[in-house]
Every structure is written in C-alpha cells, then in structure tokens.
Amino acid sequence: MALEDRNSLPDEPCVYLAIDKDNSVLYVGMSDNLRQKWKSHPKLEALSRLEGVKISYIRTEAELLRKLENALIKVFKPPLNLTEAPKKGIAALREKIGLTQKQLGDLVGVDTSTIRNWEYGKGSETFAKVARLCKVLECDIEDLFEEEAV
C-alpha cells in the first residue's frame, strides 16, 4: 500500500518492507502493532521525501517477528537499515552543498537509486579504481576524459 495510506495498516504483529518506486527494498522492520508503528515511524520523514514509496507487510505470530525481520534484512540488505547514514564520501559532499539525492541524480544523469547505492558503497570499487588511476598517472579526473564527456 502507498505510504500515504499507512493509517489503513493492520493493528497486529507484522514484518514490513518499505519499497521504492523501482521496487527496491529500502527498509525492513517489525512491530506488534503496525498501524501504531507508522504513526511516528523513525524513517517516516526520510521515506516521505521519496516518490512512490509503498509499505508491504507480512502478518505473523509475535514470536516470529524478529526471526523473519532478520531473514529479510539478510536477503535484501536495505540501505535504511544501516544504523547510521554515512558521514563521509558522496553523502557528506552532497549534504554539504545542500542537494537531495534526486537533485544530485538529475545533475549527474542517473536515477536516485543509483545515488543511494553509491552513498552506501555499492559500486564504490569503480570510484576507487579511478582514484588510483589518477594517482598513478598524477592527474586530475578531468584529465582522463575529453572535455565534451565531462
């Protein structure tokens, strides 16, 4: 169901997934009362800024909540389940100049989910290789490309 419809969630034990418009799992959680949990969810503000977020849930016995939640986190590795957002690298640089992930994605020409993945280290091996290439060649990144490509 759409994030905006969260008041219609069941008031019973559930494990839930917050899913973006591209069907990527952003967050996995659990609650004894799902509707109550989403009245003041700690990730609500962050998720509300994203377009097309949905909440999917699985009703389960209360004693199975933790086990199911942990299994789903292991499978999906959702970025918002990290205990703390990265404070260095792309996220810190983006926040320093006051851009959202969407704004940065639009400027760079990639999807918001790509920016999010970069901020959480997915694909960072490419950045590390380019940095090493620049160090070995004793150049700036701009020197690697023709002017039109940058």
Residues 18, 76, single domain; the answer is: yes
What domain count does the chain have?
2
Report if residue 148 sits inside a domain.
no
Average of per-residue pLDDT values in the chain: 89
The DSSP-derived string for 59-105 is E--GGGHHHHHHHHHHHH--GGGSSS---STHHHHHHHTT--HHHHH
Among the three residues 81, 103, 131, which one is the final residue of a domain in this structure? 81
Residue 29: DSSP 8-state: E
Q: How far is CA 104 from the centre of its chain?
A: 15
Residue 2 pairs with which residues in a beta bridge? 54
Among the three residues 81, 102, 131, which one is the final residue of a domain in this structure?
81
As a whole number, mean pLDDT of residues 2-23 equals 95
Q: Which residue do the tokens 């418009």 mark?
A: 21
Domain end: 51, 81, 111, which one? 81
Indicate the pLDDT class of residue 149, thresholds 50, 70 and 90.
very low
Query: According to the model, what pLDDT value does residue 14 have?
Result: 97
104 and 127 part of one domain: yes
On whether residue 149 sits in a domain, the answer given is no
- Tell me the mean pLDDT in the region 2-27: 95
CATH of the domain at 56: 3.40.1440.10
Give the burial class of 49: count Cβ atoms within 10 A of its Cβ; 0-12 exposed, 13-18 middle, 19 or more buried. Answer: exposed
> pLDDT > 90: what percent of the chain?
57
Q: Are residues 97 and 74 in the same domain?
A: no
Shared domain for 7 and 61, answered yes or no, is: yes
- 150 domain-assigned: no
Nearest to 18 by CA among 70, 80, 82, 102: 80
- Residues 22, 76: one domain? yes
Q: Is the pTM of this model over 0.75?
A: no
pLDDT digits (tens, 9 = 90+) for 47-97: 998 999 999 999 999 999 999 999 999 999 998 887 655 567 888 888 888
**CATH of residue 115:** 1.10.260
Q: Is residue 27 part of a domain?
A: yes
Same domain as 59, residue 18: yes
Name the residue range of residue 53's domain. 3-81
Q: 41 and 70 in one domain?
A: yes
